[in-house]
C-alpha cells in the first residue's frame, strides 16, 4: 500500500492542502514550527484514527474552525487498485457543516465505516517520533496504546474485544460508585453479571496479548542485540492479572501447544478449554477483590491495567537506563512492530519518521534505515542535505526521492 495524495481540510495549520507524494522516499523539510510534523500526524490520524502527539481530536482542528478532515488517496500494489480513506472530526458547534453531527466520521471509498475495527489495518503505518521515548519510561497507558494498536493492525477482531471490555468495565465502575463505598449496599447478582462478562472478555484479550508480547520480545531482542553490538539483552514482559499469565503458560506447556500458540497455529479446541480456565481464574480474582472495589468505587484489577515491562539485562527500564539505552529500546520496539506487520499482512506498512535523525546517533540511524528498503517513507527534517548524505547507499540507491518544502503552512514540491 502506498499513498498517492494527501488532502487536508482545517487540520492544524492547514486550511486546505492537496499534496501529491512520491512512491518511495518523501523528504519533508523546512524550519521548525512550519507544519512539517502536521503532515506526518495527519497521515497517522487518517490511517489509525489516532495522533502520536495528542489524545483529543478537538486539538487537531484548525483555530476558529468547526471540523477537520484528513484524506489519503491510496494505491494497493498487490491488487493494482486505488482506494480512498478519510477521517473527519466535528466539534459541538453551531457552524459545523449541514447534516454533520459532533464527533468522528470514518469513510472508505466514500462509504461510512461504523466500526473502527473495520477501518484500522486497511492502510498500516509505523511511526517513529521523539515521543517514542515515553514507551520505555512513560506511563503504562502509552505502552498499552502502542501494544493495542500493533495488535489491531494485524488482528481486526481485537479492537472489538478492547471496546467491549472497556465498556463493561465502565458500566461496572458506574455501578460500584452507586454503592457509596458501603459493602452492605451491594447487589451481588448485578456485580456477578458484569464480572462474568469481564472475565470472559479478559481471557480473550490475554490470549491475544500474551502471544504478541512474546513475538514483540523476540523480535525487539534481536534488533537490540544488533544496535548494542551484542552487549545488551532486551526483553519485553507482559504484566497482567496476578497468576493468570502463569496459568496460561502452564496450560500451553501441558498441552504441548506453546510454540504453536506463538506461531498462531494452536488447536482451537484446546484454546477454547484454556480460555474457559483463564476466565474461571479471573472471575475468582474479581470476586476476591469485590469488597475493596466497593469501598474504593472502582475496578482495582483487570486487563485495563495491563502493562509491558521492558527489561535490559534483566532489570526493568521503568526506573533504570540511560537516555541512549531508552532510545535503543524504543527503536527496537518500533522495528519489531514493523517486522510483525510485514510478516502478517500482505501490504508493507508506510513508514513515518518524524524528526528522529536528530535523536539518534549514527549506529542507531543505520539500524533504523537498514530494514526499510522498498517501503514508502515520509521523513521530516530541517536540513535536507544532511538527510540526503545520511541515506545515500542505505535507502536511495536507484531511488528518486521527492522533496517537499514546508514554509509557514505552505507546501512546495521541488522539481
Query: pLDDT per residue over 223-256, tens digit each?
Result: 999 888 888 999 999 999 999 999 999 999 999 9
At CB < 8 A and 24+ separation, what contacts does 58-65 make? 58/89, 58/91, 60/11, 60/12, 60/89, 61/10, 61/11, 61/89, 61/91, 62/10, 62/11, 62/12, 62/13, 62/14, 62/15, 65/10, 65/15
Query: Whose grid coordinates read 551484542?
Result: 230
Rounded to whole angstroms, how far apart are CA atoms 365 and 370? 8
Give the integer Cα–Cα distance in Å for 42 and 50.
9
What is the distance, to the nearest Å, from the Cα of residue 147 to the centroid of all Cα atoms in its chain?
6
Reported pTM:
0.91
DSSP 8-state symbol, 53 = S
In a 10 Å sphere around its CB, with 0-12 CB exposed, 13-18 middle and 19+ buried, how is residue 377 labelled? buried
Tell me what pLDDT residue 187 has: 81
Q: What is the pLDDT of residues 389-405, one digit of tens each?
A: 777 666 656 678 899 99
Compare 184 and 177 and report the one with higher pLDDT. Answer: 177
pLDDT tens for each residue of 118-135? 999 999 999 988 888 789
Rounded to whole angstroms, the Cα distance separating 290 from 298 reads 10
Q: Where are the domains of the chain?
A: 2-124+346-413, 140-307
Class of domain 2-124+346-413: alpha beta
The pLDDT assigned to 396 comes to: 59
Average pLDDT value for residue range 342-368: 80
Average pLDDT over residues 180-192: 87
Position 397 scores a pLDDT of 63
User: Average pLDDT of the chain?
Assistant: 91
Q: Please report the pLDDT score of residue 395 as a whole number.
A: 60
What's the confidence (pLDDT) of residue 215?
97
pLDDT digits (tens, 9 = 90+) for 23-62: 988 999 999 989 999 999 999 999 999 999 998 999 999 9
- Top-level class of domain 140-307: mainly alpha
Report pLDDT digits (tens) over 286-305.
999 999 999 999 999 999 99
Helix (H, G, I), strand (E, B) or coil at 73: strand
Task: Report the pLDDT averaged over residues 155-159.
Answer: 90
Structure confidence at residue 2 (pLDDT): 94
Give the bridge partners for 28, in sequence order: 380, 404
Mapped onto helix, strand or coil, the DSSP state of residue 3 is strand
Amino acid at each position: 500500500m502506498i499513498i498517492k495524495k494527501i488532502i487536508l481540510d482545517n487540520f492544524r495549520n492547514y486550511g486546505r492542502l492537496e499534496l501529491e507524494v512520491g512512491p518511495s522516499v518523501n523528504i519533508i523539510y523546512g524550519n521548525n514550527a512550519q507544519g512539517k510534523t502536521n503532515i506526518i500526524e495527519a497521515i497517522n490520524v487518517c490511517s489509525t484514527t489516532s495522533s502520536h502527539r495528542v489524545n483529543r481530536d478537538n486539538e487537531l482542528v484548525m483555530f476558529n474552525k468547526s471540523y477537520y478532515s484528513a484524506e489519503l488517496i491510496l494505491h494497493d500494489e498487490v491488487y493494482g487498485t486505488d482506494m480512498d480513506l478519510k477521517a473527519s472530526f466535528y466539534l459541538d458547534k453551531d457552524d459545523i457543516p449541514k447534516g454533520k453531527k459532533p464527533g468522528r466520521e470514518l469513510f472508505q471509498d466514500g462509504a461510512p465505516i461504523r466500526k473502527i475495527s473495520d477501518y484500522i489495518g486497511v492502510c498500516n503505518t509505523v511511526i517513529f517520533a521523539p515521543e517514542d521515548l515515553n514507551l520505555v519510561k512513560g506511563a503504562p497507558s502509552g505502552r498499552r496504546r502502542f501494544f493495542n494498536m500493533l495488535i489491531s493492525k494485524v488482528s481486526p477482531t481485537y479492537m472489538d474485544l478492547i471496546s467491549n471490555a472497556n465498556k463493561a468495565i465502565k458500566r461496572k465502575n458506574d455501578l460500584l460508585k452507586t454503592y457509596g463505598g458501603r459493602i452492605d449496599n451491594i447487589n451481588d447478582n448485578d456485580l456477578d453479571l458484569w464480572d462474568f462478562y469481564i472475565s470472559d472478555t479478559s481471557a480473550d484479550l490475554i490470549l491475544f496479548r500474551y502471544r504478541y508480547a512474546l513475538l514483540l520480545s523476540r523480535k525487539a531482542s534481536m534488533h537490540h542485540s544488533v544496535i548494542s553490538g551484542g552487549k545488551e539483552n532486551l526483553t519485553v514482559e507482559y504484566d497482567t492479572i496476578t497468576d493468570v499469565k502463569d496459568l496460561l503458560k502452564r496450560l500451553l506447556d501441558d498441552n504441548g501447544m506453546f510454540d504453536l500458540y506463538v506461531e498462531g497455529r494452536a488447536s482451537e479446541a484446546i484454546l477454547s478449554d484454556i480460555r474457559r480456565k483463564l476466565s474461571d481464574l479471573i472471575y475468582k480474582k474479581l470476586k476476591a477483590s469485590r469488597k475493596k472495589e466497593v469501598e474504593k468505587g472502582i475496578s482495582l484489577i483487570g486487563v485495563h491495567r495491563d502493562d509491558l515491562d521492558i527489561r535490559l539485562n534483566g532489570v526493568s527500564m521503568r526506573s533504570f537506563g540511560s537516555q541512549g539505552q531508552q532510545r535503543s529500546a524504543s527503536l527496537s520496539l518500533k522495528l519489531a512492530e514493523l517486522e510483525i506487520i510485514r510478516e502478517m499482512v500482505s501490504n508493507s506498512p508506510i513508514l513515518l519518521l518524524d524528526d528522529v535523525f536528530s535523536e539518534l546517533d549514527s549506529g542507531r540511524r543505520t539500524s533504523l534505515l537498514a530494514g526499510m528498503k522498498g517501503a514508502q517513507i515520509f521523513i521530516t527534517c530541517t536540513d535536507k542535505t544532511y538527510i540526503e548524505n545520511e541515506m545515500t547507499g542505505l535507502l536511495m540507491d536507484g531511488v528518486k526521492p521527492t522533496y517537499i518544502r514546508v514554509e509557514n503552512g505552505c507546501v512546495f514540491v521541488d522539481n
